[in-house]
Structure 1
Amino acid sequence: MLRKLAPLAFVVTTVLAVLAVVVAAVVLPERVPTHFAANGQADDWSSRTAAVTVLALITTGVAGLFGAVAQAGPKMSTEWMNVPHKQQWLDAGPEEEMRRRVRADAFVFGASTDVVVLSMTIAITQAARSGTDALPGWWFVVAASWVLFRIAHVVLMHRVRYRLERVVG
């Protein structure tokens, strides 16, 4: 199921992140807060053009990176793969299943990172348009949730998803 849902989630979150940048390009004021202190208050600003350019580069960079990793998974050398219990997978023979899982996990990493990029674009737009030049409180919840999700996903990958006995035993 993850094999089918992960690519779809990646495409949807990437499209939403790109749309957010397009909307930001239209609605951002000329002066945009682009760096924030730990308390969420802006401490540096950029022009709309610079802010939108950086947001677009981050959005396309994330999509390009994770999309390329997911597409390369089925073809790349196993030397480049960093998966739990890799040698056991190679010794036991289900290498194609390992490659499918690597591809799906790259899409999961990409989709979750797209959510952070999307939220960052929305938060910067909201901060710029609010007149407070401060990140909205919800953004910190999204950022913390992303960290917790990443930790949970990595633990799941190591303890469950790449346990070879689940495949051959």
Structure 2
Amino acid sequence: MGSGRWWFLAAAAACAAAWTWSLARLPERAPVHFGGAGDPDRWAGRAEALWTSGLLALGMALLFAGLVVMVHRAPAHLFTVPHPEYWKRPERLPRLRALVADDLWWIGAWTLLLFAAVQVLVVRAAQLADPRLDGWAFAVLGLYLLAVLGRVGWMLTRRYAVPDPG
């Protein structure tokens, strides 16, 4: 099992833990959407907020797991990678599938960690006298975007580069 898959499973556990933690801490009226400045612009009951966040996280986990399954079954012409003339050769296709699957596990893990952090930040915001997201929310989102963009940049420039023949 690749390291990305292990991280994905750990992130799914962290996401479930954050959701479980929020069960006892989310107030009866909770913010469920925030504007660009961090102020809540939609509220819901506790049950709706928990169901929504839980189903979104579960759906995201299932989406990434499903994409990995599809990677192992999809025809080669559906892969868009740098240097396709190298990677889509029959003898290299299993390695390509393994690399793409691992990349999906990693990005899925980071996405589930984002969901876990958002769950904690929403509970934190809901408990304030003046409910709102603070700078931590923007820092978490920025970190997520940097991680994903960094991974994609590495994938495009290094991961799928043609190895030196020697």
Relative to its length, the structure with more helix (as a share) is 1
Contact 1:17 1:118 in 2 (8 A): yes
Give, in whole Å, the separation in 2 of the partners of 1:67 and 1:82. 19
Deviation at 1:55, TM superposition (A): 0.3
Give, in whole Å, the separation in 2 of the partners of 1:55 and 1:77. 34
5+ residue gaps, structure 1, are none
- TM-score, normalization: structure 2? 0.91
Match in the other structure for 2:46: 48
Contact 1:126 1:136 in 2 (8 A): no
More deviation, 60-69/15-24: 15-24
Determine whether 1:4 maps to 2:22: no
Match in the other structure for 2:87: 89
Report the RMSD for the aligned CA atoms in angstroms: 1.7
Match in the other structure for 2:160: 162
Match in the other structure for 1:131: 129
5+ residue gaps, structure 2, are none
- One-letter code of the match for 1:7? R
Match in the other structure for 2:62: 64
Task: Write the deviation string for residues 32-59 of structure 1: whole angstroms up to 9, x where unpaired.
Answer: 0111111111122111111111101111
Give, in whole Å, the separation in 2 of the partners of 1:163 and 1:118. 34
Deviation at 1:15, TM superposition (A): 0.9
- Runs of 4+ with >6 A deviation: none
Alignment size in residue pairs: 166
- What is the DSSP-based 3-state SS (H/G/I as helix, E as strand, rest coil) of the residue aligned with 2:42? strand
- One-letter code of the match for 2:148? R
Deviation at 1:146, TM superposition (A): 0.9
More deviation, 21-30/110-119: 21-30
Task: Write the deviation string for residues 7-40 of structure 1: whole angstroms up to 9, x where unpaired.
Answer: 1110011111112112212221110011111111
Determine whether 1:110 maps to 2:108: yes
- One-letter code of the match for 2:24? V
Give, in whole Å, the separation in 1 of the partners of 2:112 and 2:80. 22
- What is the DSSP-based 3-state SS (H/G/I as helix, E as strand, rest coil) of the residue aligned with 2:132? coil
